[in-house]
């Protein structure tokens, strides 16, 4: 039985749900760079049109331009969240929900800032599936399982190009450039993927429950077909579900 083709060689399905923060930042940054229009229906009836001005992964926020109607801008700022649709120059359609709108200044330009969305849906515009998704996705990982200092951790993100984030206890000291040998990443169905992880950066962080921890950005040293099992966990093919 032949191995499945790597993800980049497969025809992209019509409906994909992205819950990888790395992928979401990349999508929004591309929409901003291409000046793709975004739109929303405020309170279900009032059309709002804009474009993304800035995406800041460091603060987990993005900013959009004001529209030409002052009253609509005010309504957006008063909304707890807004569901946006965007179409890029290649005809791909994205939907994402963003909350906590706030008025800011980007230089001399007024803008509306939002918290980064938890998910982004790429879909056929004729079909707009609304899929409830648990967004606090992480995978148990026995890091450095084949090395000198095996320890418990969690993989909190993986992108299609093999970059990811690792979360672990604050008393574990790691440095950028280290390679965690034979790290075992465990999927919800019990399957495990073994891979060497090269650390790209290390930083302190605070978990949602208030606990201090460390996080590390990493890349997979070797890419195999098994890697795409992990990618599929964060980039979900809705057409096959």
Domains and CATH numbers, the chain: 10-123 (2.30.110.10), 139-240 (2.40.10.220)
CB contact burial 98-133 (16+ within 10 A = b; e otherwise)? beebeeeeeeeeebbbbebbbbbbbbeeeeeeeeee
pLDDT (tens digit per residue) in 7-64: 444 455 568 889 899 999 999 999 999 999 999 988 766 899 999 999 999 899 999 9
Tokens of 151: 């320890």
Question: What is the rounded distance in angstroms from the CA atom of residue 192 to the CA atom of residue 76?
Answer: 44
Tokens of 90: 């290649």
How many Cβ atoms sit within 10 Å of the Cβ of residue 76? 21
The DSSP code for 238 is G
Strands 37-42, 93-99: pairing kind: unpaired
Tokens of 195: 């891979």
Count of residues for the chain? Answer: 241
Among 82-91, 112-121, 159-168, 184-193, the range with the most confident prediction by mean pLDDT is 112-121
Of the listed ranges 113-117, 128-132, 153-157, 236-240, the one predicted with least confidence: 128-132
For residues 173-200, give the mean pLDDT. Answer: 92
- If 0-12 CB within 10 Å is exposed, 13-18 middle and 19+ buried, where does residue 165 land? buried
pLDDT (tens digit per residue) in 124-165: 655 555 555 555 678 999 999 999 889 999 998 888 888 899
**Cα angle, residue 192 at apex, residues 1 and 13 outer, rounded to 5°:** 60
Question: What is the rounded distance in angstroms from the CA atom of residue 164 to the CA atom of residue 219?
Answer: 6
Tokens of 48: 């709002």
Is the full-model pTM beyond 0.85?
A: no
Tokens of 74: 């005010």
Tokens of 10: 């497969």
Strands 46-56, 61-65: pairing kind: antiparallel
């Amino acid at each position: 039985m032949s191995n499945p083709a790597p993800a980049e060689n497969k025809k992209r399905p019509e409906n994909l749900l992205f819950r990888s923060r790395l992928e979401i930042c990349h999508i929004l940054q591309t929409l901003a760079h291409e000046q793709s229009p975004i739109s929303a229906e405020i309170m279900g009836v009032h059309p709002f049109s804009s474009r993304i001005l800035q995406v800041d992964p460091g603060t987990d926020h993005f900013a959009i331009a004001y529209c030409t109607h002052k009253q609509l801008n005010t309504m957006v700022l008063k909304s707890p969240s807004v569901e946006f649709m965007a179409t890029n120059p290649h005809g791909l359609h994205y939907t994402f929900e963003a909350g906590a709108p706030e008025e800011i200044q980007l230089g001399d330009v007024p803008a509306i800032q939002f918290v980064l969305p938890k998910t982004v849906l790429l879909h056929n515009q004729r079909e707009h599936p609304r899929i409830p998704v648990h967004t606090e996705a992480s995978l148990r990982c026995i890091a450095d399982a084949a090395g000198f200092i095996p320890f418990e951790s969690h993989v909190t993100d993986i992108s299609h190009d093999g970059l990811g984030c690792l979360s672990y206890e604050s008393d574990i000291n790691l440095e950028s450039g280290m390679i965690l040998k034979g790290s075992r990443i465990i999927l919800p169905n019990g399957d495990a993927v073994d891979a060497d992880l090269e650390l790209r950066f290390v930083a302190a962080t605070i978990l949602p429950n208030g606990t201090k921890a460390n996080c590390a950005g990493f890349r997979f040293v070797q890419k195999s077909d098994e890697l795409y099992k992990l990618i599929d966990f964060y980039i979900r093919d809705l057409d096959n579900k």
